Structure 1
Amino acid sequence: MLGQSQAIQAARAQLQRYAGCDVQVLIEGETGTGKELAAREIHYASTRREHPFVPVNCGAIPDSLIENELFGHGRGAFTDARSAQPGLIDHARGGTLFLDEVDSLSDKAQVTLLRFLQDNEYRPVGGGAARISDARIIAATNAGLEQQVACGRFRRDLHYRLNALYLRLPPLRERGEDVAELAAHFIQLVAARLHGPDKSWGGDAMQALLAYAWPGNVRELENVVLRAYMCTDGSVIGSAELLAAEPAFVDTASMPRHRVNEPDLGFSAAKLHAIRTFERDYLTHLMQQACGNISAAARLSGTERRQLGKLLLKHGIDTKPFRPH
C-alpha cells in the first residue's frame, strides 16, 4: 500500500498489529480504497501466510447456493452431486477467507455465516459428520455496518462477531500528496503493461490530480492514469491530455488542494474550498439519512430533486452504496 501520508501510515501500522492477532477483522472504506489489498497485507504478514487466501464476493452468491458455496456438499446431496466437493471454508483451512461486500448478504446468508462463526463448526450440504475449520475471517464493506444494523438491514449479533478488530481505510482525498506518488507508480505500471514508452506528468496535470476529490479513490486514479497514457502521444502528460481522458477535471484543474487555513491560499480560493468541502460532507450525510433515495433526500433538505442530482454529480457521489440491499 503506497503512500507517506499520516492517514495511510496509521492504517499500515494497524494492519501490522492485526496480523499478529488471530481473530476476525472488519475493514470499512469507500469503493476503491483497497480493502482486499489491506486484507492480503494482514494475511501475508501473519503466521497464515503459507496457507490460502480465499477472496469471495458476497454479493455474487445466491441464497440457494450460500451453504453449498461456503461448506461444500457430499456425494448425492442433490441430483448433480456425483462426487463430494469442498466449500470455501475448506479451501481456506489454515488460511484466510475474505468476505468482500459482506453487507450484501441476505438474511438467510447472515444466519448461515453466524452459525459457523459461533463455534467454527459446519456440516457439508447433504449431511455427514460435523467439521471444524480454523479459517480466519476478514470481512469488508463500503457501507457502514453500524448504520446497516440501525436500519435493520444487518444482524447486530453478526456485526459483533465480525467486528472483533476494526479498520477504516482512508479515502484518497484524505491522503494529500499520496496522489502524486500513486500517479507516478501507476504510469510506470501502464508503460510496462502496454510495453510502451515511459511518460511523466506535467506540472499542470499533476496540479489537477491533486485538486480532484477522487470519489472512486485509488481504483479511479488507476483508470484515469491508463486513459491519460493512451491519450498522450508525447512523453509528458499535460492538462489537455488529462482532460481528454477524464472530463471531470475541467472543474478542478485550476483549484489548488490546500487546507483552508494555509497562508498561501487567497480568500476567494479558501472560500471556494470551504464551500466544496461543506457541500460534499453535507451531501454524504444526507444520502446516509435517506438511504440513497434522492427524492427522500430532496424532501429532507428542502432542495429540488433535479438540483440535488446535479450537486451529487458535481461531487461524484454515487448513491448505490447508501441503498438497502
Structure 2
Amino acid sequence: PLAYEEVVLLRRLAVHLGTATGAAAQLARSRARELEAETAMARAEAQVSELTDAIERSGLRQRALSEHLARPAQVASYSPAAQTAHLEAERLGQGGLPVTLVAPPGVDTVCWAAVIHLASARQDGTLLVVDATVPSEQPIERWSELSDSPLQVAREGTLVILDAHVLPAETQRYIGSALASDAGIVVVLPSTVDAMVAAELIDEHLADRLGDRALVLPLLAQRAEDLRALALHKLSRIGVRLRARPFGLSLAAQQVLNEYAWPGNEAELEAALVRAALKTEGDAVDAEQLAEVIGDPSLAETEPKWAAGSGS
C-alpha cells in the first residue's frame, strides 16, 4: 500500500499532467485555428489575384476594342486636315474634360471619339457609344436607372453620345445635372454648342457641362491624301465579311475616288465600296464597278495620275 505522502504526490502529479494535457490540447486547437486562418487567407489572396487579373484582362480587352474603333482615324491621317484633327483630339483627350465633336452628316465620329478616349487617363475603361436617334435611348428613365444607365456603365471610361441634340430636353437636363465632375464624355453635334443652344436644341444645363472644348471634324473632301488608305482599310473589312479575305483597289479605281467629291463623307464612301465589292468578281474593286455605284460611269474612263509610265 502507498503511504499518505505518496498518494498526495501522485494526486499532484495527476493534476499537473491534466493541466499539461489541457494546455497541449488548447495549443493544438489554436494551431488548427491558425492553420485554418492561414488557409482562408491564402484562398482570399488567390481570389484577389484572380480578380486583379480579370480586371487587367478586361482593361486590355476594352483598350483593344477602342484601338479597333480608332483605326480609321489612325491609318488614314496623311492629309493636313486629318493630322490637325488627330493632334487636337489627343490634346482634348489628355485634358480629361467633356468634349464636343462638331461633325457634318456622314463623318465617322466614333473613330475620333476613340482617339480622344485612348489619349485620356480612362483608356482602359469602357468606351460606350449611345446613338440618341434610337428611341429606346431617349427616355429619362434610361439615364436615371442606377444600375445600368449609360452614365453608370461608362463611369470609369468615356461616354459618347451621337446626335445628343435629338434627346428630349428633360433627358438632356438630367444628363447635365447627373454628370460627375470628372466624367469622361464626348458629345457629337452638327454645330457648335452655342449655336445649338441658340436654336433651342441643347439644354443649357448640358451646355454648361460641355463648355467650349470642341473639335470640328474635317470633311472627306478635305482629306484627298487619306482616301486611298481609308478605302483600303474599309475594303479589308468588307472583304473579310463577304468572302473571308480582303479586297484590293485598282489604280483606276483610286483615281475615281479622287475625282468624286464624296458629299456624304465616310458613310457614302463605305456604302459605295460595299456595293462595288458585291459587283466585283476578282480580288480588287475596279473603276467600272466603283463609278457605276456612285452614279458617274464617265469616271471609270479617267486615266490614273500615277499610272505606269506617268513618272509620278
Matches within 5 A, 1:40-189: 40-61=114-135, 65-66=139-140, 68-73=141-146, 85-117=147-179, 120=180, 134-189=182-237
The answer on whether the counterparts of 2:98 and 2:183 sit within 8 Å (CA) in structure 1 is: no
TM-score, with structure 2 as normaliser: 0.65
2:297 equivalent in structure 1: 250
> How far 1:39 moved relative to its partner?
1.1
The answer on whether the counterparts of 1:211 and 1:256 sit within 8 Å (CA) in structure 2 is: no
Structure 1 pair 224/164, CA: closer, same or farther in 2 (3 Å)?
same
Structure 1 pair 65/186, CA: closer, same or farther in 2 (3 Å)?
closer
2:96 equivalent in structure 1: 22
- Could you tell which deviates more after superposition, 105-114 or 56-65? 56-65
Give the one of 234, 255, 270 matched to 1:207.
255
Structure 1 pair 64/94, CA: closer, same or farther in 2 (3 Å)?
closer
Question: Which one has a bigger Cα radius of gyration?
Answer: 2
Q: Which amino acid aligns with 1:105?
A: L
TM-score, with structure 1 as normaliser: 0.63
1:241 equivalent in structure 2: 289
1:287 equivalent in structure 2: none
Q: Which amino acid aligns with 1:250?
A: P
Distance in 2 of aligned mates of 1:168 and 1:25: 11
Distance in 1 of aligned mates of 2:77 and 2:217: 13
Structure 1 pair 64/166, CA: closer, same or farther in 2 (3 Å)?
closer
Structure 1 pair 28/255, CA: closer, same or farther in 2 (3 Å)?
farther
Structure 1 pair 252/160, CA: closer, same or farther in 2 (3 Å)?
farther
Q: Deviations over 1:147-168 (max 9, x none)?
A: 3323333334533421341111
> How far 1:89 moved relative to its partner?
1.3
Structure 1 pair 29/257, CA: closer, same or farther in 2 (3 Å)?
farther
Moved over 6 A (4+): 254-258
Distance in 2 of aligned mates of 1:256 and 1:95: 48
Distance in 2 of aligned mates of 1:239 and 1:39: 32
The answer on whether the counterparts of 2:138 and 2:167 sit within 8 Å (CA) in structure 1 is: no
> How far 1:198 moved relative to its partner?
5.4
Q: Which amino acid aligns with 2:196?
A: Q
> How far 1:46 moved relative to its partner?
1.7
Residue 155 of structure 2 aligns to a residue whose secondary structure is coil
Structure 1 pair 257/13, CA: closer, same or farther in 2 (3 Å)?
farther
Structure ranking higher in helix proportion: 2
Distance in 2 of aligned mates of 1:98 and 1:192: 28
Distance in 2 of aligned mates of 1:166 and 1:227: 34
Matches within 5 A, 1:271-282: none
Alignment gaps of 5+ in structure 2: 1-72, 306-312
Distance in 1 of aligned mates of 2:297 and 2:98: 43
Residue 129 of structure 2 aligns to a residue whose secondary structure is strand
2:45 equivalent in structure 1: none
The answer on whether the counterparts of 2:252 and 2:287 sit within 8 Å (CA) in structure 1 is: yes
> How far 1:108 moved relative to its partner?
1.6
Structure 1 pair 165/254, CA: closer, same or farther in 2 (3 Å)?
farther
Residue 54 of structure 1 aligns to a residue whose secondary structure is strand
Distance in 2 of aligned mates of 1:116 and 1:198: 45
2:22 equivalent in structure 1: none
Q: Deviations over 1:211-258 (max 9, x none)?
A: 1111221122122122212212234433322233x1423365578999
Number of equivalences: 231
Alignment gaps of 5+ in structure 1: 74-84, 121-132, 259-325
Q: Deviations over 1:24-66 (max 9, x none)?
A: 0001112232211111121122211122122112222469832
